Structure 1
């Protein structure tokens, strides 16, 4: 692999770092950011690390009008031995390209993109919090920057990576959350962009989330856009159910995002010889299982929350309580194992963790 040439311009005015016990999700950002520019016919150029600052874009940039943008989310952890650890970052870069392909956007060299991320982490490593449950959230994204109001793919793009120290994603922490099953709005359908990580998928879900919050629920459970009966995702997470000893998660169908935490949970369950199945599962099946005392537990999976246990579903004004509203044993085991692997506290038998070792003085 050809070494990535990165121009580094360090800030001369570092920001004050927040206290670990005052971290909100995605509110504070580090001193620097990574950027690269794409011009059709030239490819990706001008790779650089520079002080975090606002962007200057033409008002006619395609991102503002036709939504050509994709993004990713992953985390960096500080281990006890002082190394920086990344959890399966190559999967994020791979998925970034899958999303880009769906949005007619240029692909990035996955290895070079990962190298750019590592260099950025080396520079802003002091921002990685060390308190229990904290991490450095990483947001790579690509936006269309050509100034053109015609409806066609942009010929210019910007690839960026920004960093944010974060605490727990949910104010409830690892405690079970209450979920409102969405029966009116639709997140995505097969053939659309549901399998891509793009801004429009999240904007279309804001109304349902607003309604859920007003009713006192942490998230919404999305049903399929055709029959409105099969379960797809919970908020921006994948979802799992443990029914009568078997773990079930909705099968990828073209409208469900292929979560990296989802993939890791499936591998862990298989490693533990716990039955796990990917298939269609309806809300009626969940209701029946709950009524028959067979719904052992349910949880969402995602980068931000890792494992988010679910204590209650509200479906058509009927409350379906899961495991007496308490966190299940499997949810807890998965959370402890995944976070333990991510932070280096326990052995990584899968080779999921990548270490960033080069010290800042070698840049």
Structure 2
């Protein structure tokens, strides 16, 4: 059915918010993903009504029937984005329209209704506005935003649901990795695949991440920070980490990143880095890169740097790669010059420290 993009969001303030003194203590060291603000956005969908009952209300547990469809058939998608404090004290989002469009693309792949872009943006902006006091004081802190949607219809049967719940929660965030911006180590998964052609690799759905957890646990057991997946067909071509895209800096001025091809999530940070890298004079190439080539190029010095990127970690250098065949080090094993330059360029744009020539930063208030 046609949807009115002017859906009004009713604000119902939390009558028992976290006291200001307690909130300030929590924000001194928020960590990542463990602390949450006072409110959440909620919008319901029903096949015969469309999107309706839009609110920003007190954050609270969700009452669910045991037969709720998502619990049995995993119709669920989500987004990850951040709100920032700019240098002049204003608040802003970074390329939120791209998150809205990717959310729609994920919904299409998972046979779910598409939330109109304007409603997505309005729900996020309203939540950030009402919880503006939750920005962490720590340097580099931000308000991590998690829009998500799941099938809430109560039934058992393999078909797309007819009822859904869309929500947005917010989490004050510090550094994603405990070591901050230093280089991470990664484990090459040779027994598990993240996605296959024709699957859901390009959708941001929970099932992709659930499938990666056993490999991530293996990485942790090998004293690595993250896991990197190879292609499902040949177990040869490098694809992406459990939650980030990869880039390879070559000695001839090229920047290589694996092609999307439907098995890799089209990262918004990934696309932004490609644009900034071209402005730095690099030749950016989306091409297949084999694990054996990665190892050989690191040994010969042809590969200068490797870095991962995503909303949560922004840009993070990869220093060491470990696998069942042994380990190899990239460059000096620490952050490289180009990695740091691209990270700082991106962060400076996000935080309003330099002119935003691309129109990426959406100021809110």
Alignment partner, residue 12 of structure 1: 15
Q: Deviations over 1:283-340 (max 9, x none)?
A: 1111121121111000001000000100011133321101211110011011111111
Alignment partner, residue 191 of structure 2: 184
Which aligned pairs between 1:100-111 and structure 2 lie closer than 5 A? 100-111=107-118
Gap change, CA 1:341 and 1:130, over 3 Å in 2: farther
Is it true that 1:68 corresponds to 2:75 in the alignment? yes
Pairwise CA distance, 1:12 = 1.4
CA distance in 1 between counterparts of 2:119 and 2:159 reads 28
Which of 214, 225, 232 is matched with 1:225 structurally? 232
Structure 1 residues without counterparts, runs of 5 or longer: 358-363
Q: TM-score under structure 2 normalisation? A: 0.96
Is it true that 1:258 corresponds to 2:266 in the alignment? yes
Alignment partner of 2:332: what SS?
helix
Which of 327, 332, 341 is matched with 1:333 structurally? 341
Pairwise CA distance, 1:250 = 0.0
Alignment partner, residue 146 of structure 2: 139
Pairwise CA distance, 1:19 = 3.7
Alignment partner, residue 45 of structure 1: 52
Instruction: Answer whether contact 2:83 2:144 (CA < 8 A) is retained.
Output: yes
Which of 98, 101, 116 is matched with 1:94 structurally? 101
Alignment partner of 1:204: what SS?
helix
Instruction: Answer whether contact 1:261 1:301 (CA < 8 A) is retained.
Output: yes
Alignment partner, residue 298 of structure 2: 290
Alignment partner, residue 215 of structure 1: 222
CA distance in 2 between counterparts of 1:239 and 1:10 reads 41
How many residues are aligned here? Answer: 357
Alignment partner, residue 196 of structure 1: 203
Alignment partner, residue 28 of structure 1: 35
CA distance in 2 between counterparts of 1:287 and 1:109 reads 45
Which of 285, 293, 299 is matched with 1:277 structurally? 285
Pairwise CA distance, 1:82 = 2.0
Instruction: Answer whether contact 2:227 2:242 (CA < 8 A) is retained.
Output: yes
Moved over 6 A (4+): none
Pairwise CA distance, 1:232 = 0.4
Alignment partner, residue 304 of structure 1: 312
Which of 305, 327, 348 is matched with 2:356 structurally? 348
CA distance in 2 between counterparts of 1:75 and 1:347 reads 19
Instruction: Answer whether contact 1:176 1:308 (CA < 8 A) is retained.
Output: yes
Q: Which stretch of the first structure deviates more once superposed, 45-54 or 120-129?
A: 120-129
Q: Deviations over 1:163-196 (max 9, x none)?
A: 0000000011100011111101111111000100
Alignment partner, residue 241 of structure 2: 234
Alignment partner, residue 361 of structure 1: none
Alignment partner, residue 360 of structure 1: none
Q: TM-score under structure 1 normalisation? A: 0.96
Pairwise CA distance, 1:21 = 3.9
Q: Deviations over 1:211-250 (max 9, x none)?
A: 1101100001100000000000012100000122211000
Alignment partner, residue 87 of structure 2: 80
Alignment partner of 1:324: what SS?
coil
Gap change, CA 1:296 and 1:21, over 3 Å in 2: farther
Pairwise CA distance, 1:2 = 5.4
Pairwise CA distance, 1:57 = 1.1
Pairwise CA distance, 1:354 = 0.1
Pairwise CA distance, 1:29 = 0.7
Pairwise CA distance, 1:131 = 2.6
Q: Deviations over 1:5-24 (max 9, x none)?
A: 11111011111324444212
